[in-house]
Amino acid sequence: MSFSLFEYDHPEGGAFDHTHVILKDLSDEEWSKLLSCMERRKYPAHATLLEASESDRSLYIIVSGSVTVSVSVRGKEREVGAIEEGSVFGEMAFLDGRPRSATIRSREAVEVLSLSYSSFESLMSWEPRLACKLLLDIGRVLSQRLRQTQEGM
């Protein structure tokens, strides 16, 4: 039996965009190792999970639910997108150590896995291949998001 972290059916019953799903090719053993250094968190609908300008390097994977992404444009908050279950957020600050660039809010009740940067450093020490897989997948998702943004211009 295969370990399954995410349900891949779209909540509205339509086609689910699998391109942003992260780590879908990990083995059960790899998931077990990764989960051992992550924290599971639950938030109610409309909760603020991350605030723009916060200094925190944690990375988040959405287990269930979805979130909205908002940025400040000329002093006004503007919703610029949504992130569905199976994908990641907080990746920019995780990678570059700079303050958060967006505010993330839950659309409905949401469950996430949180990976602190210090836990990631430990993972790199004792499971370098798994850490590499995680970094490459984060890079893939970032690249896809950038391409989608450019296509929308």
Residue 121 sits in a domain whose CATH number is 2.60.120.10
pLDDT value at position 7? 42
Task: Go through 102-112 and write b for each residue having 16 or more CB atoms within 10 A of its CB, e for each that does not.
Answer: bbbbbeeebeb
| Residue 11 belongs to some domain of the structure | no
The size of the chain, in residues, is 153
> Angle, to 10 degrees, between the axis of helix 128-151 and the axis of helix 28-35?
90
pLDDT value at position 147? 87
Range of the domain at 110: 18-147
Domain count, the chain: 1
| Residue 4 belongs to some domain of the structure | no
Nearest to 93 by CA among 28, 138, 149: 138
| Residue 54 belongs to some domain of the structure | yes
pLDDT value at position 148? 79
| Residue 93 belongs to some domain of the structure | yes
Per-residue model confidence as pLDDT tens digits over 8-59: 333 444 333 455 788 988 999 999 999 999 999 999 999 999 999 999 999 9
What global pTM score does this model have?
A: 0.84
